[in-house]
């Protein structure tokens, strides 16, 4: 049991001053009256049988019953249970761990005639104590005062916090004002720097614009001259291709003539062999004949042999010429095929070059459209670099 000076918001009924006065139901009223007389502070008596509370009689109710002389004589000589049955007030039993505020709330919510009745505290199983309501209300009042004091302290602390908040708010307002000034200065300086950078950028862009204009003019001239050159190349390539076809046809005709010459040469060889055979037969005939002019036949045989020899030489020359013509004809065919391949390659390269020129022409047109737009000129410059790369790649490829 604690003193009232030690009461806190977490205090329970165990911390309050209470009294231990319990009897069984068979105890005579004289014993209870004697105890009340000896202990004027006792708020009442608890009637307990076998560890169970049967009831509670407050000093006030006991004194009221004893105020009548005939009742006093009767109840003092009778068991206390008889008086308990007459009063019939159900006791309020609470645990010793019940908080003071909860207990006070339950006490004050009882009927009006029972508000000041003592309460029974169960300290341990089968052990009970009785608490005077006056002590509970004093403890409640002390808690209220303590709460009020804490509220006052919190209010003072809140006022101090509010004052500190106001001071900090003024500092923040000063910081905000200073920050706004710095931000304005930074923004102003940024605008100045931006204007200077923009002016420098304009100065740097101007030569690029001029170079772009010069490039456009040069590109127009290049496009015009290149288109003429490509047109001439295409015409010459086509003409070469047609001439190649004609040469190929002529070579085929020559080949056919050579075949005819070769056939004629073979026929001539056959005739020579037949003439030689006839000459031999004539010589044999002459040799065995009894003619009076054998020398004439001999002269004829001699001339035939000479003719056969010369004809054989002519035939050999024709065969040699035919062989040489066939060799040159093969070279002509190979040359024609190579010319045709070169012409096709030239046409292919011309087509690729025309594609590059078309890109260059598109770039020139875009440059003319976006002549006054720096961003567009930057994009055109990037596109120009790509086109130049393509031209360089084309120039590095073998032109076969």
Least confident range from 130-134, 171-175, 225-229, 367-371: namely 367-371
Judged against a pLDDT cut of 90, whether residue 80 lies above it is answered with: yes
Q: What percent of the chain has pLDDT over 90?
A: 25
Give CA–CA dist 251/258, Å, rounded: 10
Residue 22, CB-side half-sphere exposure with 13 Å CA sphere: 23
According to the 3-state scheme, what is the secondary structure of the chain?
CCCHHHCCCCCEHHHCCCECCEECCCCEHHHHHHHHHHCCCCCEEEEEECCEEEEEEEHHHHHHHHCCHHHHHHHHCCEHHHHHHHHCCCCCEEECCCEHHHHHHHHHCCCHHHCCCCEEEEEECCEEEEECHHHHHHHHHHHHHHHHHHHHHHHHHHHHHHHHHHHHHHHHHHHHHHHHHHHHHHHHHHHHHHHHHHHHHHHHHHHHHHHHHHHHHHHHHHHHHHHHHHHHHHHHHHHHHHHHHHHHHHHHHHHHHHHHHHHHHHHHHHHHHHHHHHHHHHHHHHHHCCCCCHHHHHHHHHHHHHHHHHHHHHHHHHHHHHHHHHHHHHHHHHHHHHHHHHHHHHHHHHHHHHHHHHHHHHHHHHHHHCCCCHHHHHHHHHHHHHHHHHHHHHHHCCCC
For helices 133-288 and 374-396, what crossing angle results, to 10°? 30
Range from 17-26, 294-303, 311-320 that averages highest in pLDDT: 17-26
- Tell me: pLDDT of 2 over 50: no
* pLDDT-derived band at 294, boundaries 50, 70, 90: low
Least trusted range by pLDDT, from 85-99, 149-163, 256-270, 373-387: 373-387
- At 233 the pLDDT is 65
Global pTM? 0.42
The pLDDT of 112-140, averaged and rounded, is 91
pLDDT value at 121 more than 80: yes
Residue 360 has pLDDT above 70, yes or no: no
Q: What is the mean pLDDT of residues 192-208?
A: 78
Is 90 exceeded by the pLDDT of residue 390?
no
What confidence tens digit (pLDDT) does each residue in 223-234 have?
676 677 667 766
**58-76 burial code (b ≥16 CB/10 A, e <16):** bbebbeebbeeeeeeeebb
Residue 119 clears pLDDT 90, i.e. is over it: yes
At residue 54, does pLDDT exceed 90?
Answer: yes
Q: Which of residues 377 and 133 earns the better pLDDT score?
A: 133
Residue 77 contacts residue 62 (beta carbons within 8 Å): no
Q: Do the beta carbons of residue 336 and residue 251 sit within 8 Å?
A: yes
Question: Does residue 205 surpass a pLDDT of 60?
Answer: yes
Tell me the per-residue pLDDT of 17-50, one tens digit each, with 9 for 90 and over. Answer: 899 999 999 999 999 999 999 999 999 999 999 8
The listed range with the strongest mean pLDDT (163-172, 285-294, 307-316) is: 163-172
Q: Give the pLDDT of residue 373.
A: 58
Mean pLDDT, range 140-156, rounded to an integer: 90
Q: How confident is the model at residue 389 (pLDDT cuts 50, 70, 90)?
A: low
> Which residues are CB-contacts of 142 (< 8 A; sequence separation ≥ 6)?
4, 7
Query: Per-residue pLDDT for 124 more than 60?
Result: yes
Predicted confidence at residue 211, as pLDDT, reads 65
pLDDT (average), residues 174-196: 86
Between 372 and 299, the more confident residue is: 299
Res 374 pLDDT > 60:
no
């Amino acid at each position: 049991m604690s003193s009232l000076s030690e009461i806190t918001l977490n205090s329970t009924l165990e911390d309050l001053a209470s009294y231990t006065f319990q009897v069984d139901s068979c105890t005579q009223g004289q014993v209870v009256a004697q105890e009340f007389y000896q202990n004027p502070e006792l708020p009442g008596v608890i009637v307990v049988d076998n560890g169970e509370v049967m009831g509670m009689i407050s000093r006030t109710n006991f004194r009221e019953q004893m105020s009548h002389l005939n009742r006093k004589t009767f109840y003092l000589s009778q068991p206390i249970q008889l008086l308990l049955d007459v009063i019939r007030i159900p006791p309020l039993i609470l645990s010793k761990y019940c908080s003071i505020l909860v207990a006070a709330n339950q006490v004050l919510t009882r009927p009006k005639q029972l508000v000041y009745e003592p309460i029974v505290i169960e300290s341990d199983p089968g052990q009970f104590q009785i608490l005077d309501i006056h002590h509970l209300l004093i403890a409640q009042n002390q808690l209220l005062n303590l709460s009020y004091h804490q509220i006052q302290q919190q209010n003072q602390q809140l006022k101090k916090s509010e004052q500190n908040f106001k001071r900090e708010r003024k500092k923040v307002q000063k910081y905000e004002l200073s920050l706004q000034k710095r931000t304005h200065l930074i923004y102003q300086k940024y605008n100045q720097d931006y204007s200077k950078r923009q002016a420098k950028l304009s100065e740097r862009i101007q030569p690029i614009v001029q170079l772009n204009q010069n490039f456009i003019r040069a590109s127009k001239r290049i496009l015009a001259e290149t288109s003429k050159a490509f047109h001439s190349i295409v015409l010459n390539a086509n003409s070469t291709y047609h001439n190649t076809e004609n040469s190929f046809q002529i070579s085929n005709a020559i080949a056919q003539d050579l075949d005819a010459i070769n056939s004629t040469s073979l026929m001539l060889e056959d005739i020579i062999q037949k003439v030689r055979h006839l000459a031999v037969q004539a010589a044999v005939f002459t040799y065995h004949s009894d003619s009076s002019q054998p020398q004439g036949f001999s002269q004829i045989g001699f001339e035939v042999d000479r003719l056969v020899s010369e004809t054989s030489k002519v035939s050999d020359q024709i065969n040699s010429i035919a062989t040489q013509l066939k060799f040159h004809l093969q070279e002509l065919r190979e040359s024609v095929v190579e010319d045709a391949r070169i012409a096709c390659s030239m046409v292919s390269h011309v087509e690729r070059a025309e594609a590059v020129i078309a890109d260059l022409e598109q770039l020139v047109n875009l440059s003319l459209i976006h002549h006054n737009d720096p961003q567009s000129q930057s994009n055109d410059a990037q596109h120009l670099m790509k086109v130049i790369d393509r031209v360089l790649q084309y120039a590095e490829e073998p032109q076969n």
